[in-house]
Amino acid sequence: MAQQSSGMEFLCREYLKNNYIDPETSERLGVKRGLRNPDGTGVLAGLTNICDVVGYEKGPAGEVIPTPGRLIYRGVDLNELVREAYEHDRFIFEEVSWLLLFGSLPKKSELEKFQQIIAEHHNLPEHFIEDVLLRSPSPNIMNKMARSVLSLYSYDERPEDLSLENLMEQSINLIAGLPTIMVNAYQLKRRVYDKQSMFFHPPTPGQSTAEHILSTYRADQKFTHEEAKLLDLCLLVHADHGGGNNSAFTCRVLSSSGTDTYSAIAAAIGSLKGPKHGGANLKVMEQLEYLKAGVEDYRDEDEVREFLRRIIRKQAGDGSGLIYGMGHAIYTISDPRAVVLRQKAEKLAVEKGFEEEFRLLCLVEKLGPQVFAEEKGNKTVCANVDLYSGLIYKMLGISQDLYTPLFAISRIPGWCAHRIEEVVFANRIIRPAYKYLGVRQKYKTLEERG
Ligand SMILES: CC(=O)SCCNC(=O)CCNC(=O)[C@H](O)C(C)(C)COP(=O)(O)OP(=O)(O)OC[C@H]1O[C@@H](n2cnc3c(N)ncnc32)[C@H](O)[C@@H]1OP(=O)(O)O
Ligand SMILES: O=C([O-])CC(=O)C(=O)O
């Protein structure tokens, strides 16, 4: 593509001349900007049985009272699932995929059957790797995954069939197949863009999703049980976050129009890629580099605090004014996923010699809310799931190319569950209103325009 040309400058000037919207106008007209109520809580847009995200209570006068965060998958608290995975030393992502999709906890025999089905579906359709992956590499794996999901349409004999049976089959194919697509897309990116060797290891029968990812990602296919368990935990904590998060809502908006599964899931991947959503895990690690370069003494809280202040003032970092890994639309005091990941990151950081980076992230978590309160008012902010996940992946030796794609892999069961719920039960096209602000203008002929 050509660099931005003077032609583009001229077109942009024309755009800006005619398209200003004063941010005050939203408030004046009572627009629910970002689909938020005036107190910052989300506008009620639907009903779901899948997942509950709790970050505050409403007081007697309707005021927001911050509470420690809780994440509940189909009635089961995330912390119980984490405990189960560790106390019984089990891989749990497949069980949680079942829980999110069907709403029940599988019996032992059901779980074993389901794990087997998922493992069998790690293989992609015949010729898919050659025809779709190898022919069009992308420097960005989220982009490649979205395109691959769209391409799966052509390998499905019933892509438009909206029956429950078919939606389930497509969901299982995506949950099992996308990890393979992700790793292969990454290997190709390495070869084409990084000029390194690529490895197309075939799936090993019987592996959990976490084991499958590590064994196809690594050149020697070796990994420890602890490493696979940690990756499985990451998959677990990212698996769903209610119907209102940007990517699930995107999936629900598309699904409400009656479109096919591949279009809806590809759009959700596109949404998750954004730096205010799942893309924040990559941004956090970039921010860590800015911090390391901009702060002389990592232990000096005043220095770190000052740097965070400069980030919010758009004088440091990527210039967006955002402290990545901090803040959340629902959580106020804590995001339970960040709490779990911080504990795991700490243990691994000590083992692998990443304590300095871990401590810096902890300082962001500690000082971010103070700086935020001073600079932005008294809203309670906390660390979110993206603050520690990137460091965990880095300590597992996983390339930053895969930080956000791993979030997408984890979230597929959630997106599929929301799509099915939208298609089967909601059954009304999502269609909010926009107030037209433009002025009437009379059509003029080319001659009249001068
Ligand atoms: C998986 C996930 O999606 S978790 C979230 C991952 N995203 C990030 O970590 C990016 C950084 N965080 C953010 O951008 C935000 O906190 C979000 C997008 C997560 C939530 O945003 P919102 O709910 O709209 O925040 P909220 O409405 O309370 O924002 C109020 C103000 O605080 C600002 N703000 C919110 N979070 C941050 C932050 N981390 N750093 C700086 N400013 C922030 C907003 O930009 C807004 O400023 P403005 O009034 O000047 O426009
Ligand atoms: O709920 C949100 O807005 C974002 C989030 O944390 C997620 O999707 O995991």
Question: pLDDT (tens digit, 9 = 90+) per residue, 294-328?
Answer: 999 989 999 999 999 999 999 999 999 999 999 99
Task: Decide if pLDDT at 4 tops 70.
Answer: no
Distance CA(236)–CA(230), nearest Å, equals: 10
pLDDT > 80? residue 335: yes
pLDDT at 386 over 60: yes
Query: What is the predicted pLDDT for the residue at 306?
Result: 98
Would you identify the CATH topology of the domain 68-276+406-426? Citrate Synthase; domain 1 (1.10.580)
Q: Is the pLDDT of residue 363 over 80?
A: yes
What's the 34 CA to ligand 2 centre distance in angstroms?
14
Long-range pairs for 73-78: beta carbons < 8 A, 24 or more residues apart: 73/99, 73/100, 73/239, 73/240, 74/49, 74/50, 74/99, 74/100, 74/103, 74/104, 76/105, 78/236, 78/237, 78/336, 78/337, 78/340
Closest CA to 416 of 221, 174, 73: 174
Spatial neighbors of 277 by CB under 8 A, at least 6 apart, are 245, 246, 247, 271
Q: Which atom from ligand 2 is nearest to the alpha carbon of 242? A: 1
Question: Would you say the CB of residue 384 lies under 6 angstroms from ligand 1?
Answer: yes
- pLDDT tens-digit readout, 140-180: 999 999 999 999 999 999 999 999 999 999 999 999 999 99
pLDDT at 127: 95
- CB distance 337 to ligand 1 below 6 Å: no
Cα separation, 116 vs 165, in Å, equals 19
H or E stretch at 403: helix 403-421
The answer on pLDDT for 5 being more than 90 is no
Q: Please state the domain extents for the chain.
A: 68-276+406-426, 280-395
Residue 370 Cα to ligand 2 middle (Å): 22
The protein residue with its alpha carbon nearest to ligand 2, atom 4, reads 245
CA–centroid distance, 327 to ligand 1, in Å, is 5
CA 242 to chain centre: 12
Nearest CA to ligand 1 atom 47: 376
Radius of gyration of the chain measured on its C-alpha atoms:
23
Q: Spell out the residues 6+ positions from residue 416 whose beta carbon is closer than 8 angstroms to its own.
A: 100, 101, 167, 170, 171, 174, 175, 261, 265
Helix (H, G, I), strand (E, B) or coil at 103: coil
CA of 328 to the centre of ligand 2 (A): 7
With contact defined as beta carbons under 8 Å apart, do 202 and 215 qualify?
no
* Residue nearest atom 48 of ligand 1, based on CA coordinates: 376
DSSP string, 104-151: SPPPHHHHHHHHHHHHHTTSPPTTHIIIIITTS--S-HHHHHHHHHHH
| Percent of the chain at pLDDT exceeding 70 | 99
> What is the greatest pairwise CA distance in the chain?
79
* Each residue's pLDDT tens digit, 227-285: 999 999 999 999 999 999 999 999 999 999 999 999 999 999 999 999 999 999 999 99
Q: What mean pLDDT, rounded, does the chain reach?
A: 96
323 lines ligand 1 (CB under 6 A): yes
CATH number for region 280-395: 1.10.230.10
Q: What is the pLDDT of residue 319?
A: 97
Residue ranges lining ligand 2, Cβ < 6 Å:
53, 241, 245, 328-330, 384-385
Q: What distances in angstroms separate CA 358 from CA 262, 275, 342, 346, 353, one per listed residue?
A: 38, 21, 9, 7, 10
pLDDT at 398: 98
Indicate if ligand 1 lies below 6 Å from the C-beta of 238.
Answer: no
CA of 256 to the centre of ligand 1 (A): 27
Q: Whose CA is nearest to atom 3 of ligand 2?
A: 245
Residue 160 identity (one-letter amino acid): E
What ipTM was reported for this prediction? 0.98
**Residue percentage of the chain with pLDDT more than 90:** 96
Minimum CA distance residue for ligand 1 atom 36 = 327
Q: Name the residue among 175, 157, 24 with its Cα closest to residue 102.
A: 175
For residue range 187-213, what is the model confidence (pLDDT) as tens digits?
A: 999 999 999 999 999 999 999 999 999
Ligand 1 close to Cβ of residue 309 (< 6 A): no
**In this structure, which ligand is nearest to the CA of 411?**
2
